[in-house]
Chain A
Amino acid sequence: MTNLSLWVLLLPLLGFIILGLAGRFMPRTAILAVGWGACGLAFLCAAISFFSMLATPAAQRTSDQVVYHWISAGTFSLDFGLLLDPLSMTMLLVVTGVGLLIHIYSAGYMADDPSFWRFFAYLNFFIFAMVMLVIANNFLFLLVGWGLVGLASYLLIGFWYQRRSAVAAAQKAFVINVIGDFGLMLAIFLIFQGAGRLDYAGVLTHTFPAATATAIALLLFVACAAKSAQLPLYMWLPDAMEGPTPVSALIHAATMVTAGVYLVARAYPLFEQSPAALAVVAGIGGATALFAATIALFQLDIKRVLAYSTISQLGYMFMAEGVHNYSAGIFHLVTHAFFKALLFLGAGAVIHALAGEQDMRKMGGLWGRLRVTGLTFLIASLAISGIIPFAGFWSKDEILGSVLAYGNQTGNVWYYILWAIGILTAGMTAFYMFRLFFGIFAGDYRGASVAVNDNTNGDVEEQEAAAAGHHHAGPVRYNSIHDVAPVMSIPLIILAILSVIGGFIGSMALFGLPNWSPLANFLPAAMHNHAAEGSLTLEWISTGLSLLAGVLGIGMAWRLYGKGFAFKQNSNPLYQLVFHKYYVDEILNAVLIIPVLALSRTLSRYLEGDVLDGGSRGISTLFRGTSTFMRRVQTGYMRNYALGILLGVVVIIVYYAVRG
């Protein structure tokens, strides 16, 4: 098997180093040559490895190569190595493939940005970090990749670093992700304590005591929840939309946020050892899917709708993994990468055309001006809504089917509820997606005329600072709106094609329909699926109901917004609660951040200042006082000293006399 995974890792790193050191002085074409070249060649290497893997018998598709010895201390010794198997292969293709399309798109989207070079340097760095994450052959280098993608995410969210909101969002994303790193580190400690090693080959074949296995699996899931924005660690992802839109598409929709899904699939033998942990995975997944979907229903910023939608879809993936169907989780990861990247890039095209406008209230009627964008956006919306035969249908159907089958197999009513949540969320997904679609493309253009209360910050200095970036620069007249250039529309079209056929082919590949021999059972063969097999009847019930939910959602959106979006204030407290995202940010601020900062200030002033510093001063004052007092004794007169000696002698004599 030809294994070029080391090149897939190193080429983007090389691109980053070149652009990072010299990009500032390079012309745009050279920047693109390096940036696109690094990612494109990495994709090529991944593709060659993939076809070589397909030609290999299923049993020999795993290659574990050591690159070098990294560290040793006592019994702890670790090599850096690369593990290429169908799971990491799938991830490599998605990361470099979707990554390449977004590199191409960005050339158009970021064309006017003075920090063009920096953007491509960061993108290459991200690809490197993400490849590291999925290709490492041990938990420690997984953590390295885990940390580095967090850094890439931080740099790209804060790309326009003079915007206060972007800076705050970047910091929030990083710190919340460090909570995940914390969980991952503890899991690694436990794994080493239990198995004495950290490489997948050794750890994943090791049987841990039940309690340890549960602890490890749950700690790993803390990391997954932070990286993949699941409850309760999702808050950073909506704010991450402050980054340039191609970043949102690549990192915060298609690839990085799916790292948690990857990790559960990678470590599935550990999760298999702990039914309790898997139940948590399924439960958190379902709860997040529903929770985020409710918030998405009423958002007005088009990128935020998509962000909450991403959180919700990631919840589906965890739901699948929670019922042992790991390959279905990865399948949805792949189709979601196609259609969600497409949705974000489409949204980016809209924002680009409207000179930075992201508020749905100021859009509308763009179908007439943005044909390619509109059509591809429609395809992606149909895909995410789970309408047959688009990509999302196949993967979502697979997930819901296996949840229902698992409920049926175990007879546990909670899984029926989980399945019902899945169906309900599917309906809500279709509704908010088509509310978004109609809001952007249907009805009349509302941009030039309507003066709406701007809910984005209107700081003067901020606008000055952002003049360079894509920041709202005032309404654009309808007739001057143009569809995007080919450099941006070609990635849209490719992703649209994948959103149509990706699920169909993937479905064949995954579930081994006959006569598709090369792709048959590509993932499940590698992952020994433990998914429950449902009867055909159950599958039809699940499929039928999820399709029905999707159609109903679209129908409702059509009834309400088919003629154009109109925003109405609603004072219903429930609506207000959801509209304000359940006030989670406000609560978190009040119960955690403000108290910690207050504690820091108080400790600094009182404990450090008054007690410790004051204490040392107090001691020194005491000594000074004592010595001032003692100085008086030294009068310099002989008679005083003689008196002192006499008194001393008397005291001693009296002491011994009394003591006998």
Chain B
Amino acid sequence: MFFLSAVILFPLLGGLALLFFPREQVRAIRMTALGLALIELLLVLGLDLAYLQNSVSLFSSSFLHESWRWFPDLGINYSLGMDGISLVLVSLTALLTAICIGASFRIESKVKNYMAFMLLFESGMLGVFLASNLFLFYIFWEVMLIPAYFLLGTWGGERRIYAAFKFVIYTSVGSFLMLVGIIAIGYYHQLAAVAAGGTSCGYTLELSQLLNTSATCHGVLDGTTQLWLLLAFAAAFAVKVPLIPFHSWLPDAYSEAPAPVTALLAGAMSKTGVYGFLRLCIPLFPQAIHTLAPYINVLAVVGILYCAVLALMQTDLKRLLGYSSISHLGVIMLGLFSFTAQGMTGSVLQMVNHGITTAVLFLIAGFLEYRTGTRRLQDYGGLAARIPWLAVMMFIAALSSLGLPGLNSFTGEFLSLLGAFRANVTLGVLGTLVVVPAAWYMLRFFIGLMWGVPATEGAVSANLRKGGIRDLSLGELGVIIPLIILIFYIGVQPAVLTGIIDPSVANTMQVLSSAFVK
């Protein structure tokens, strides 16, 4: 069956088809791109239903699994597979891409390329979440980088070139190390398998073979090898998440990219890093991960608090949200590396929640910048009376972001932190402490824009006087509302998602055996 391939390739092919449109047909290009993204979303919904009907695991030979020989001598196959964790992230990506394309109708220059890149970006991310061969994973990983680079470098703000270069260099260094790691893991695995008695074992990069402990051709890597390989993989993922101190590219990239692109970078792409840790690092290096986990946890906690404190005094809307995003990703990492069922399920759940919430926040920042032409917080103030619906939507997203109980992010953060606390009380307490600065900077952000009296000088007041600041348009409402509904729905009914995530987490973590706390 080609279901997974269809899901991955449809946006890519659609994007290519888009390139044949005449350049002037801007409206047709926009509508087609949106249509393609929506069809893709329907495909993914079909995938959701199919998965829920026949719950499959990652390597089961079901119709939700594909494997085609490619370069068998090099252990390279075109293999795809999925479980509940992939499912929720694929769904998130498809949803956010559709919404972000819908929110990009204000892009005026080179619309065709923009839309094609957005769709290519989607394909790259979906591939990362579905690949089950390391080489294929790497290819999708790089496919993701190219459109992101162009989207940022071509349609971004004033300092876009600087931001794009920084982004690419940070990411490439990590990717390169991961490539070395991928090549090496096949080699060392073969050595270990032969040493363990399998005489005719070949070189493989197939995840199912690397992880299949009962196969004849399975070898266990020794601790030192595991650690070096793990570090190579972790380099790529730590940059993408990002963990501090590998985050320096993020504030620039997030603030310079056009808002819908930032929403996609923060909402979906950042999850590929966490997914890499979850899908590859933990299962492939089950011993070494315990050596590295304490360091990752410390970096996560430092990042959580450090970025929350930084967010307090940011003066640029999108930079503030960027730091907030790093802080929240820290909670996700802390949950993941707690090696508890609560922490890891919470971590995956929170990836979805953070994707939704942060996308709303960045999109709204974009709506505001479009109206006022500025991202400086000091220029804003007292807009709630003028644009009440926008204020309400922003308030809901801000509450979600600060973890208000009853909304989506609370569910994921609560589970993540509960897991972190069970694993290590000190880290759990320090991680939980973030709720205080998070409330502080988020409310400061909301109040600074919406409450109080309008600023008397600056771009906003000039626009206000001209009557140029209007409330949400129908189109804007259309892209925001689905996410707002999800913010409430997941908050009230998280069992729908945890029911999908939890069994897959338990499956994936069997490799940790007793180190995994249920």
Contact = CB atoms under 8 A, between A and B. Distances in A.
Nearest to B433: A182
Interface in A142-183: 143-144, 146-148, 151, 154, 158, 161-162, 164, 167, 170-171, 174-175, 178-179, 181-182
Interface in B446-470: 447, 450-453
Nearest 6 CB-CB pairings of A with B: A74-B341, A147-B405, A73-B345, A600-B313, A144-B405, A74-B518
Contacts of B506: 74
Given A600-B310, A612-B245, A171 B447 contact: yes
Chain B, interface size category, equals 35 or more
A162 B404 contact: no
Contacts, number: 146
Interface in A580-614: 596-597, 599-601, 603-604, 608, 612-613
B498 interface: yes
Interface in B407-438: 410-411, 414-415, 417-418, 421-422, 428-429, 432-433, 435-437
A72 interface: yes
A465 interface: yes
Given A189-B432, A600-B309, A616-B166, 5 more contacts: A73-B498, A164-B453, A175-B443, A178-B402, A182-B435
A596 B309 contact: yes
A604 B313 contact: yes
B251 A74 contact: no
Contacts of B166: 616
Max count, chain A CB within 10 A of own CB: residue among B406, B415, B494: B406
A192 interface: yes
Given A147-B404, A182-B432, A189 B443 contact: no
Classify the secondary structure of B's interface with A.
helix
Contact of B341 (A69, A73, A146, A174): A73
Nearest to A24: B388
Contacts of B248: 608, 612-613, 615-616
Nearest to B165: A620
12 contacts: A161-B384, A161-B450, A162-B452, A167-B452, A182-B436, A462-B453, A465-B453, A597-B312, A600-B310, A613-B248, A616-B169, A616-B249
B451 A162 contact: yes
Given A182-B432, A189-B421, A608 B251 contact: yes
Contact of A461 (B345, B418, B436, B453): B453
A650 interface: no
A480 interface: no
B399 interface: yes
B2 to A, nearest CB: 34
Nearest to B509: A74
A161 B443 CA distance: 13
A75 B343 CA distance: 12
A161 B314 contact: no
B386 to A, nearest CB: 11
Contacts of B341: 73-76
B401 interface: no
A178 B444 contact: no
A167 B447 CA distance: 7
A70 interface: yes
Given A608-B310, A620-B169, A186 B439 contact: no
A476 interface: no
A232 B444 CA distance: 23
Interface in B493-513: 493-495, 498-499, 501-502, 505-506
Given A75-B341, A612-B245, A175 B439 contact: yes
Classify the secondary structure of A's interface with B.
helix
Contact of A71 (B404, B405, B447, B498): B498
A140 B433 CA distance: 18
B342 interface: yes
Contact of A148 (B346, B405, B439, B502): B405
A604 B435 CA distance: 20
Contact of A189 (B422, B447, B498): B422
Contacts of B187: none
Nearest to B166: A616
B246 to A, nearest CB: 10
Contact of A604 (B170, B314, B437): B314
Max count, chain A CB within 10 A of own CB: residue among B310, B453, B493, B501: B453
Contacts of A175: 436, 439-440, 443
B306 interface: yes
Contacts of B313: 597, 600-601, 604
Contact of B495 (A72, A608, A612, A620): A72
Contacts of B505: 73
A581 B79 CA distance: 70
A607 to B, nearest CB: 8
A76 B345 CA distance: 11
B502 A72 contact: yes
Contacts of B432: 182, 185-186, 189
Given A151-B404, A185-B435, A600 B502 contact: no
A605 B229 CA distance: 36
Nearest to B411: A71
B443 A73 contact: no
Nearest to A599: B309
Contacts of B501: 73
Interface string A461-481: 110010000000000000000
A171 B306 CA distance: 21
A76 B418 contact: yes
A621 interface: no
A170 B450 CA distance: 14
Contacts of B422: 189, 192-193
Given A143-B405, A462-B453, A74 B444 contact: no
A68 B496 CA distance: 12
A165 B55 CA distance: 56
Contacts of B198: none
B340 interface: yes
B502 A161 contact: no
B385 interface: yes
B382 interface: yes
Contacts of B406: 144, 147-148
A75 B405 contact: no
A171 B382 contact: no
Given A73-B345, A189-B422, A193-B421, A164 B435 contact: no
A162 B383 CA distance: 10
B502 A74 contact: yes
B455 to A, nearest CB: 11
